[in-house]
């Protein structure tokens, strides 16, 4: 099967070049500062879990490379309010255009429609993208280990923290876990374990469960992808995983908020 991630990153290089032509890093930093303080993304998850609930990052996603169009009646503001009412702790909004039919405006609309903190879900490989994330209103950024070297992880993590953003570092296998731990990022980040292989898009919940014994004590884990039934949530929570990123299964429902509430009841 073709390497989807490689194709996406090639497009990102072109997008970054265009971004740099539109705005300098200094200009983006001014826009980011004008946003004021970010909403606490990691704190929102922590508080939900501390209260005994499942800490859900509910995803707003129109399409994907593997599944095509997921939701035709796509209104980010309405979906955000649905998720907030359904018990989400945070939102995830896809901003990648070519492969996921996302847009920066979707993030802006979703965040303005509710009080939840929002992560920019995209493929970030340059500091310009990280600062831009805060400039458009994101409270957290995703750093995908499969797309980054240890040096890049350190650089983008540092840039995110300087910009007031929380960080979700994503892995999907043992090698990527080792890469992230060796990068020495400190403790102020969340670890996402993606059950979907970004090179083949195959999904296995066992990906998270198999990696749990290898994690350092105190690691705040978010299991991502493939959570579609209450039994999936119960299985993860029984294994000690209390944070979830859930999207596609909810986006296909007429009322995503009600679907979320039923999923985590």
Q: Which residues are catalytic?
A: 59, 61, 121, 170, 194, 224-225
Min mean pLDDT across 4-8, 59-63, 246-250 is at 4-8
Per-residue confidence (pLDDT) for residue 44, from 0 to 100: 98
Of the candidates 63, 58, 142, the one whose C-alpha atom is nearest the C-alpha of residue 102 is 63
Average pLDDT for 90-103 = 97
Please give the pLDDT value at position 198.
67
Collapse the DSSP code of 220 into the 3-class scheme (helix H, G, I; strand E, B; otherwise coil) and give the result. coil
Nearest alpha carbon to residue 61 among 7, 115, 99, 88: 99
Instruction: Give the number of residues written for the chain.
Output: 265
Write down the pTM of the prediction.
0.95
DSSP class of residue 196 equals B
pLDDT in tens, 182-236: 998 878 899 999 998 766 778 899 999 999 999 998 899 999 999 999 999 999 9
Q: Are the CB atoms for 49 and 247 separated by under 8 Å?
A: no
Tokens encoding 126:
């340059």
Structure tokens at 207: 């990906």
Confidence of residue 1 (pLDDT cuts 50, 70, 90): very low
**Contact between 131 and 29 (Cβ < 8 Å):** yes
CATH 3.40.1000.10 assigned to 4-264: no
> 129-144: b or e for each residue (b if 16 or more CB lie within 10 Å)?
bbbbbbbbbbbbbbbb
Please write the tens of the pLDDT for every residue from 81-94. 999 999 999 999 99
């Amino acid at each position: 099967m073709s390497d989807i991630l490689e194709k996406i990153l090639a497009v990102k290089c072109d997008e970054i070049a265009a971004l740099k032509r539109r705005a300098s890093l200094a200009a983006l930093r001014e826009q980011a500062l004008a946003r004021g303080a970010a909403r606490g993304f990691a704190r929102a998850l922590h508080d939900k879990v501390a209260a005994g609930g499942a800490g859900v990052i509910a995803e707003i996603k129109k399409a994907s490379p593997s599944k095509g169009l997921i939701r035709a009646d796509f209104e980010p503001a309405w979906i955000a309010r649905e998720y907030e009412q359904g018990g989400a702790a945070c939102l995830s909004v896809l901003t990648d255009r070519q492969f996921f039919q996302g847009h920066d405006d979707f993030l802006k609309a979703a965040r303005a429609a509710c009080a939840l903190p929002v992560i920019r879900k995209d493929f970030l490989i340059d500091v310009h993208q990280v600062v831009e994330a805060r400039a458009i209103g994101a409270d957290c950024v995703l750093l995908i280990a499969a797309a980054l070297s240890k040096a890049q992880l350190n650089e983008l993590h540092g840039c995110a923290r300087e910009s007031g953003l929380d960080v979700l570092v994503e892995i999907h296998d043992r090698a990527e876990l080792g890469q992230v731990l060796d990068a020495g990022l400190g403790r102020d980040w969340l670890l996402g374990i993606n059950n979907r292989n970004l090179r083949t898009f195959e999904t296995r919940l066992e990906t998270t469960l198999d990696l749990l014994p290898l994690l350092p004590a105190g690691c705040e884990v978010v299991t991502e992808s493939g959570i579609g039934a209450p039994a999936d949530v119960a299985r993860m929570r029984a294994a000690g995983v209390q944070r979830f990123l859930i999207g596609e299964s909810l986006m296909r429902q007429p009322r995503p908020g009600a679907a979320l509430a039923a999923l985590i009841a």
